Amino acid sequence: MTKPGKDGFHMPGEFEPHSGTIMIFPERPGSWTYDAEPALPSFLKIWEAITEDEKLYLLVSPEKHQKAEMLCKNLKNIEILEIPQNDAWARDTAPTFVRNPQTGKVRGIDWNFNAWGGTFDGLYADWQNDNALAGAFCQKMGFPIYDAKPFVLEGGSIHSDGQGLVMTTEACLLSPGRNPNLTKEQITETLCEYLGANRVIWLPRGIYHDETNEHVDNICAFIRPGEAVLAWTDDKNDPQYALSKACLEVLQKENIIVHRLPIPDVPVCITEHDLQGYVFEPGEDTRELGERLAASYVNFYFTNKSVLLPQFGGENEQSDKRAVSIMTELCPNRKIIPIPARELLLGGGNIHCLTQQIPALKER
């Protein structure tokens, strides 16, 4: 094993067939309000939808193992694995998988994880379990591992179209909290080597106030090769406008077909009740009353047959319906499954951030 690209492996599109999905049971008190109770119904809906279509690997701490077993007792197609973690964002801490189309073999990449910025602007102070999670999963399941450390990367900061094109954001991957000793060119090269790609589109920005330093997976997603949805607003007074517009210009210059997917009309903000539900650790990024959350419908997840689409409810009922209708039109062969997601957003991300696909495989 050298590097994935050189070995004939590449990262498939998420819309290509999966053999399964990895998720993590929500537990962190600084992310999941009121012991995660308000968020668990959304998690259950996601677990139900995924296990309809493919295998679900649910990672859980020893403390929550029994609770997870009870909650999932009616689900088939699920395997619960005890692997310690610091939070539930499988997209960012589980392996990125690459596949060899000739052999159907699948291998995992183990990036360096530093809680979205390390000591520079990371979101919590101890991310040891998170950083060990990808390796632990691969070892337990028998996937060969490409060790990409010390290169810092979260899965949510990249999208692949499965045809050699990768998309990321400058705001995140050029942030001082990631790989400040590498130039943009060197980062481009590293992405190409590991993801078996030959081209990287650098979007300048992501979603306003996105605490991941603006991950690409909250603002833009491929729905098929050469075609993407982009989080959008027509409101020039909204701080999102300039960010989305800058991304649109890059995508158009790169000849990507872009479909605009408007963000919620009413900003989703932290209420006093929300705030009371968090328990923050020392060194952990806290929330503030009235803080605008990075709500976007682009943070959906493709299972083998469906699209799990975030819905924010409340004053955004119309916006929610608009998103369902746009995605229905764009993905005519898939079932659009609306998932109540305000409580997921309170955790700091959304459905895509909570999931990681394992490509279809013939052997490991």
Q: Which residues make up the interface to a copy of itself (CB under 8 A)?
A: 119-121, 170-171, 174-176, 180-186, 204-205, 237, 239, 242, 246, 283, 285-286, 288
Among candidate residues 137, 144, 135, 139, the one with its CA nearest the CA of residue 103: 144
Whole-number minimum distance, CB 286 to a copy of itself, in Å? Answer: 7
Listed in sequence order, the DSSP H helices in 114-160 are 118-121, 128-141
Smaller CB distance to a copy of itself: residue 40 or 182? 182
Bridging pattern class, strands 145-152 and 78-82: unpaired
Q: Which is nearer to a copy of itself, 93 or 168 (CB)?
A: 168
Nearest of 184, 182, 159 to residue 171 by alpha carbon: 184
Burial, 209: exposed, middle or buried (Cβ in 10 Å; 0-12, 13-18, 19+)?
Answer: middle
C-beta of 73 vs 236, nearer to a copy of itself: 236
Write down the least CB distance from residue 154 to a copy of itself, Å. Answer: 16
Kindly state the smallest distance separating residue 150's Cβ from a copy of itself, in Å: 14
DSSP state of 66: H
- Listing DSSP states for 280-305 in one string gives PPTT-----TTPBP---TT--EE-SS
CA distances from 190 to 12, 109, 117, 173, 184 (A): 17, 12, 19, 12, 10
Q: Work out whether strand 165-169 and strand 159-160 pair parallel, antiparallel, or are unpaired.
A: antiparallel
Residue 123 or residue 354: which is nearer to a copy of itself going by CB?
123
| Min separation Cβ 184 and a copy of itself, Å | 4
Whether the CB-CB separation of 319 and 267 falls below 8 Å is answered with no
Annotated catalytic, 353? Answer: yes
In the complex, the smallest distance separating the C-beta of residue 177 from a copy of itself, rounded to whole angstroms, is: 8
Give CA–CA dist 19/2, Å, rounded. 25
In the set 138, 172, 220, 353, the catalytic residue is: 353
C-beta of 36 vs 174, nearer to a copy of itself = 174
For the annotated catalytic residues, the residue numbers are: 353
